Amino acid sequence: MHCNTHRTDSIQRIAAWRSCGRASLLCCIIFLSSFILHRSSFAQTLQASAEPAEIKPGSSTTYTITIEGGQPDEAPKLQLPSGLDLADNAPSFSNQTSIINGVVKRSSSFTWIITSSKAGTLVIPPQEIRVGGKLFKSNEVRIIANANAVQPASHNDPLLVMQIEKREIYVGEVVPITVTIYAPERSVAMQRIGLIEIPKDNFAIQRFPIQAEQTIVSMGGARYRAYTFRSNLSALKPGKFKLGPATSELLFEVEARGNANAFQHPFFRQMEQRTAKPQSSDIDINVLPLPDSDRPAGFKGLVGDFDISINAEPHELSVGDPISVEMNITGSGNFDSLTAPELTSAGDWKTYPARRLNVRQPDPTGEAHDQRATFNQVLIPKKLLAEIPPFEFSYFSPTKKQYVTACTSPLPIRVKESVTPPAPRVTGPLETTSGEQSPAEPEKISQPQVKLTDIVSVLPNQAAWITPHPVLWKNRTFLFWNGAAAGAVILLLGIKFGTSLRQTRALSTSTPVRELWKRLRGASLSRGNFYQTAAQYIRLQSGTPNAECQSVLSQHEQLNFSPSQAASAEPMPTDERARVLQILQA
């Protein structure tokens, strides 16, 4: 009886333990589910885009709404302006879920094919979508329907796009201009890109660089290799003009027809060579004249935004001693029209013409660096002075839309009395300081020259063929000239090898990676630009990104595609940059 009671108690305890374990497991599952749902439900944003954004009337574009951080409750009813129609009423839907550092990230997207029925700038208003019972709005999207829009004839043809920073500029204002060539990454291998050519009837355009900046971009769900060329433009006269089209001769290879097997090794693919000369769309530019009112008397056609600083050496000198003044002018504008600043009060100074020393041009990689010009001028004080008067120059500022006169502050110096004795009076060759006549110099008589009229034969003591000669490798002249020839050959071979190596590196697919890495190591990028560049660097790397790289991509999306982008403009902290660079190097 005692054994049966003990067995019953054991069975009851085991059942209680099992029920407690099940309850604990159920509580853990509920806690983890609520934690995951909580972690995955934040940062819900909507981002709308259209690719391409410029189309011809009657053609189509892809309109996409991407939902980050949640799942839509239902498909939205798209609201379109007059002139845009849906090619298919039912949108395509895609869904993606990822876990990064324990954070569940969900994203989904709706995609529509939209056609244009008329020309003009058509604005798609913000669209409303319910996510988790809450109502969210996307951004508005502009689509330009232009009869002159350039679109590729087939998916393998490269596309050339020209962009300008401003469409309303002043005469003489320097404006950046960008030309980008897009080529499908997998099916097109670019061999040669010719010079970028743009008609220069009404504009002065700086020559585009030969080497392009290479990046990988996604448009309409496809990956393209972008070749970007940057230059500067300046208008020559006021009026309304068309800029373009921009053209370039291209040599590239595409997969031969009937050879589109995606599982075929790239080494065995059959490629055919093609040439093309794509052209961009025209851009309407309104060129404004410089205003006549309030124009300074010293204005010489300089347009831009500038700053000036000066320095002088020595600070202590005597009357009649020279002093060197260095003037540094920085900013952005047409530095070709820049002249030396003028001294505001030059009556007490003897001045010499200023010399222009150097000009630093903008960085071709696209980074925003100011130009710089340095002038050096020598001044000599005529009397005791306590300062160098201000220097000034005038220019027109396009940002302020007014004339500006830049002026330096007076520079304190100390000018003392001259202690140098006066120079003696210069006398004539036959006159002394006492006024007496100096004795005349004796007349110089030239030595007689002997004229030889007889031919004299001088024979050597020994025949030349009998005379012993030194060994060639002991002759210094022989060694010098042969060494110089060998050095020249080695130098030419080195130059040839270096040129081939640079061309190979320039055509290598790793060149964009190195350029992006160089930009990441710079200290001038904001947080948003840094993470955008890091995301491009990760996408260019082969293979699937690891968990740490996925966290960098997540940070990029959160900074650059969230409704509040204030954090993206902040400076990148040094420790955060070092941590991200360590992740990318791993």
Digit-coded pLDDT (tens) for 482-508: 889 999 999 999 998 888 887 776 655
Dist CA 243 CA 513 (whole Å): 33
Q: Which two tokens stand for residue 249?
A: 């001769």
- Percent of the residues in the chain that have a pLDDT greater than 90, as a whole number: 27
| CATH number given to 304-416 | 2.60.40
Distances (CA, A) of 308 to 29, 312, 328, 407: 68, 14, 6, 7
On whether the pTM is more than 0.95, the answer is no
Query: Which of helix, strand or coil describes residue 71?
Result: coil
pLDDT of residue 490: 93
**pLDDT (mean) for 368-384:** 84
Q: Which residues pair with 234 in a beta bridge?
A: 174, 204
pLDDT of residue 195: 92
- Alpha helix segments (H runs only) across 432-526: 476-507, 511-521
Bond into 266 cis (ω within 30)? no
pLDDT of residue 420: 60
pLDDT of residue 329: 92
Instruction: Note the CATH architecture for domain 45-145.
Output: Sandwich (2.60)
Q: Is pLDDT at 307 greater than 80 in this prediction?
A: yes
Dist CA 529 CA 67 (whole Å): 22
Query: Which of helix, strand or coil describes residue 130?
Result: strand
81 within 8 A of 168, measured Cβ to Cβ: no
Contacts of 156 (CB under 8 A, 6+ apart): 184, 187, 188, 254, 255
What are residue 50's phi and psi, to 5 degrees? Answer: -135, 130
270 within 8 A of 256, measured Cβ to Cβ: yes
| CATH number given to 159-258+275-288 | 2.60.40.740
214 within 8 A of 226, measured Cβ to Cβ: yes
DSSP state of 50: E
**pLDDT (mean) for 119-133:** 86
Query: Which of helix, strand or coil describes residue 66?
Result: strand
Dist CA 444 CA 555 (whole Å): 95
More confident residue, 232 or 3: 232
Q: Which two tokens stand for residue 192?
A: 């040669």
Contacts of 148 (CB under 8 A, 6+ apart): 281, 282
Dist CA 564 CA 567 (whole Å): 8
What does pLDDT average to over the chain? 77
138 within 8 A of 115, measured Cβ to Cβ: no
In 78-173, the DSSP E strands lie at: 84-86, 92-100, 103-116, 120-124, 128-131, 134-137, 141-145, 159-164, 168-170
375 within 8 A of 340, measured Cβ to Cβ: yes
What are residue 30's phi and psi, to 5 degrees? Answer: -65, -40
- Residue 83's pLDDT band (boundaries 50, 70, 90)? confident
Dist CA 412 CA 386 (whole Å): 6
pLDDT of residue 249: 93
What are residue 164's phi and psi, to 5 degrees? Answer: -130, 145
Q: Which residues pair with 100 in a beta bridge?
A: 103
Q: Which two tokens stand for residue 263?
A: 């599982």
pLDDT of residue 445: 44
Dist CA 170 CA 284 (whole Å): 14
Dist CA 97 CA 106 (whole Å): 4
Q: Which two tokens stand for residue 221?
A: 């769900």
- Most distant pair of Cα atoms in the chain: their distance: 162
pLDDT of residue 366: 42
Dist CA 328 CA 297 (whole Å): 22
What are residue 378's phi and psi, to 5 degrees? Answer: -100, 130
Dist CA 349 CA 331 (whole Å): 29
Q: Which two tokens stand for residue 437?
A: 């006549």
Length of the chain (residues): 586
Dist CA 75 CA 67 (whole Å): 12
231 within 8 A of 207, measured Cβ to Cβ: yes
223 within 8 A of 216, measured Cβ to Cβ: yes
Dist CA 130 CA 138 (whole Å): 11
pLDDT tens for 409-466 read: 999 999 988 766 555 555 444 444 444 444 554 544 445 554 555 455 555 555 555 5
Match 């030194």 to its residue by tokens.
470
